Amino acid sequence: MGDVRPPSGPDPAAFRHHSARGSVALQAACNMPEAPAFRGRFNPFPLALHTGSSPDPAPSTGPIATVMHPRSATLALALLLLCMALAACQPQRLEPDSAPVGPTALLAGAEPGPSIASLNLAPAQAAAALRSFIESCPRLLARDDASGLTRSADWHPACTAASTASPSEAPAFFARHFESARIADGRAFVTGYYEPEIAGSRQRRPGFEVPVYALPPDLTRAWPADMPEAERTGRPPLGRLDESGTLVPYHDRAAIEAGALTGRGLEIGWAADAIEFFFLQIQGSGRLITPEGEVIRIGYAGQNGRSYTAIGALMRERGLLGDGPGQYASSMQGIMRYLREHPAEGAALMRENPSWVFFRELTGDGPLGALEVPVRPEASVAADPQYVPLGAPVFLAVDRNEANGLWIAQDTGGAIKGPNRFDAFYGAGEQARTIAGGMSARGEALLFLPRGTLARLGRATGTR
């Protein structure tokens, strides 16, 4: 994996926009970090979950008396300046401002973007994206598009042509078979994830005491008996049936750590470090490296149905994260440092996240994404399938070179919600961990759709 993804297409600075975080100088005065640096499959900072939040409060603009004693005027001015300073020091939203949008890309709006040829796709990036697109095509052709933008038949020409396209002609392939579209306002927010490598073992032995559990057979979906039929919409909740056959919540993290699943033969491996395994659960996949050098690749199999609590947000609320004396960096590395330097408090903090992820052993050359095809370093992104057809190409022009260029949407994530919200995959190893752990990029996103899609949608809605 290269040091960075080289810039491609338009200058990302041309697409930058102002977020509500305020100036760097003001943030420093208020002891506020620029932005949380870590996002994973789930987000330690849940503010990133909100993509349609309302604008920050503004100072009142009500009428002011036109006649005022000079001393009163001075006092009023001082109070006004104080209120403005205090308002500026309030916690700032960590994502771009955005107005409420429709629940799917079709309802949020899709507008034509620039020609793909004008984006000057980097040949190496386009070749990597072509490979991932080819791997995605069988799934792309077989699944319904939740975004409402495309039909299976729309993808047939591109998928057929891709099967015989050579990597050297990848930029021309995408320009020939796709058109770009801007979903909603097109303003993108990009974070990163990676495939952790941690010390592990197939068998429990001294130094390897943290169980890696497979999906338990008693984890089930069912409607609570007392829930009226009219309220039973969507998927039933996860839980387990107790001795009386009543659905109850499944064991939470604290109960599982206390031994709720012990002795049931669910262990597929053992990790050496509880903190490293906690973050592997956040990423959703990873590698256990045994003392003998064996690599055991594990991937997401399911979750206990408990809501995810972001420990980074808890630390921020408690004043543990920031730039001040005694505070820790707002990053995965900073959170890990706190957990290690305060083992008792750290263990209790991790238990405040009741969510637990179960795994399965994977074979093949890469972790599997939501499309059930391997995600590739610097080629695959996670996206919200309500706004991006999984398998579709996405072009990013943002303020971090490592996230620029052409990607294929092949995965999803618990914090990856809303239009133009992406989580870029950087592979395994220390460099991937560093890039993903510090990724927080803003700019513009363009979705590549099969040629003719926008015209068809326009005819269907009567707008073209």
Global pTM? 0.70
How far is it, in rounded angstroms, from Cα 401 to Cα 381?
A: 15
| 294 lies in the same domain as 439 | no
Say if residues 309 and 354 touch (Cβ distance below 8 Å): yes
Q: Are residues 246 and 127 in the same domain?
A: no
In a domain, 132, yes or no: yes
* Structure confidence by residue, pLDDT tens digits, 75-105: 343 444 434 444 433 333 334 444 567 899 9
How is residue 127 written in tokens? 């070749």
In a domain, 46, yes or no: no
The last residue of one of the domains, among 336, 361, 386, is 361
pLDDT of residue 41: 39
Residue ending a domain, among 361, 395, 424, is 361
Do 105 and 184 have their domain in common? yes
Structural domains in the chain (count): 2
Shared domain check, 350 and 272:
yes
Measured N-to-C along each axis, helices 152-162 and 123-142 cross at an angle, to the nearest 10 degrees, of: 140
92 in a structural domain? no
Digit-coded pLDDT (tens) for 347-402 = 999 999 999 999 999 987 778 899 999 999 999 999 999 999 999 999 999 999 99
Q: Cα separation of 128 and 168, whole Å? A: 10
Domain hosting residue 401, numbered range: 99-191+375-461
What's residue 235's pLDDT?
86
**What is the per-residue pLDDT for 286?**
93
Give residue 32's pLDDT: 27
E-strand ranges in 217-376 read 220-221, 238-241, 247-248, 267-271, 285-289, 295-303, 357-361
Query: What CATH number does the domain containing 217 carry?
Result: 2.40.240.50
Check which CATH number belongs to the domain holding 436 and give it. Answer: 2.40.40.10
β strands within 196-294, DSSP E:
197-201, 210-213, 220-221, 238-241, 247-248, 267-271, 285-289
Provide the pLDDT for residue 364. Answer: 79
- Name 239's bridge partners: 220
- What is the per-residue pLDDT for 464? 52
DSSP state of 370: T
Q: Give me the phi and psi of 193, to 5 degrees please.
A: -140, 170
In a domain, 91, yes or no: no
Q: Which of 304, 331, 361 is the last residue of a domain?
A: 361
The answer as to whether 89 is a domain residue is: no
- Do 404 and 10 touch, CB atoms closer than 8 A? no
Task: Name residues of the chain where pLDDT drops below 50.
Answer: 1-98
Same domain for 355 and 207: yes
Are residue 251 and residue 353 in the same domain, yes or no? yes
pLDDT at 331: 84
* Residues 230 and 350 reside in one and the same domain: yes
- Check whether residue 245 and residue 108 sit in a common domain: no
At residue 37, the pLDDT reads 26
- Whether residues 118 and 137 share a domain: the answer is yes
Q: Do 121 and 175 have their domain in common?
A: yes
